[in-house]
Amino acid sequence: MPTCPAPVRPLDAAAAAELKTVAAELLARYGSATAPGLLAALPGECGALSDGVRRCLRPVDTADGLFVLRGLRLGDAEVGPTPGHWSTAGDAGALWDVVLLLVSAVMGTPIAWDGQQDGRFVHNIVPSPGHESEQTGASSTVLLTPHTEDAFHPGRAHLLLLCCMRNHDAIATTAASVRRTELADEDVALLKRPVVPILPDDAYEQAQRFAGRPAPVPTLFEGGDGLSLRFDPAYTPLEEADTGWREAYRRLEDELSRVSVAVSLEPGDVLVVDNDLVVHGRVPFKARYDGTDRWLKRASVRVENRPTRPAAETGEHGYGQAALTAWTTT
């Protein structure tokens, strides 16, 4: 797997300083990155950003489906120790929550989930004791299987943003674009059929208890100017599918593995992933739980009127999970 050939968009010193200054002013004005007033102020603040910043934050525009925004420098001492669990993070790294919200709001509308991390719009992704072998962001010792973020839900993000706070061990995020794969027409046709559902992952305990019947969904579909995908093998009951479909799915897995890249983020980097084209994961690592472990901030963004989803998704129940949008939060 090649290491970090991901496209890099450099943010010059003036643009980086502008983003951090606006973020600091918002945090001082509202007192918390989770304040409803700060969330409501984001569109206006983003509209006032310079053209240079906005050019750097234009949409993903290559078949790779991702880029690394680089230039937001972050010193190790300024954020304090890595939290041991998302629930204990509190306001740790709050300035960077606001920076990530600004970046997100230029690209679209930040969203959150009522059933994940207390409805926060920025999540803390840290290894946590007792969760080492799960297929969630709190794991460490296992490969985090490449997947579409929140693949079980029709309202999932169009864009996923990961901001690196600390990564002493150069632990890689993996990413693979479906538009770099070479798939047989027969396999594409099979995987466009809605055969099996995608179930909620372990980060959504309430959704896992939802009483509604899971509905089958397609893995591949036409997304405007090419293939899009909805993919989470760890939470897909593949045994319910016929042999031919399962074999096509495995060949898709193999192709995604073949074109996968490993992106080792540096503190201050923001990885922007097109969640309709790219599956992402993480290599295994050994957590120390001493305040120096890998720490990412995560934000999810919805882009209105994007032709990358099948119309049939609008009828799904989403396992009872409601997406919250920053502009309507009160």
Task: Average the pLDDT over 254-265 and give the result.
Answer: 96
CB 303 within 8 A of CB 108: yes
Q: Which two tokens stand for residue 155?
A: 């309202």
Span 294-328, pLDDT tens digits = 999 999 999 988 877 888 898 899 999 988 998 76
Q: Where are the alpha helices (DSSP H) in the chain?
A: 13-30, 36-47, 51-56, 94-107, 185-191, 205-208, 243-258
User: Which 8-state DSSP code applies to residue 168?
Assistant: T
Instruction: List C-alpha distances in Å: 108 to 61, 102, 103, 111, 310.
Output: 15, 10, 9, 9, 20
CB 62 within 8 A of CB 7: yes
Complete DSSP assignment for 12-30: -HHHHHHHHHHHHHHHHHH
Reported confidence tier of residue 224, pLDDT bands at 50, 70, 90? confident
Task: Average the pLDDT over 77-92 and give the result.
Answer: 92
User: Which 8-state DSSP code applies to residue 60?
Assistant: P
| CATH numeric code, 8-328 | 3.60.130.10
Domain-wise residue ranges, the chain: 8-328
Instruction: List C-alpha distances in Å: 195 to 96, 98, 182.
Output: 41, 41, 22
Q: Is 5 a residue whose pLDDT tops 80?
A: no
Task: Average the pLDDT over 271-279 and give the result.
Answer: 97
Reported confidence tier of residue 44, pLDDT bands at 50, 70, 90? very high
Number of H helices, E strands in the chain: 7, 14
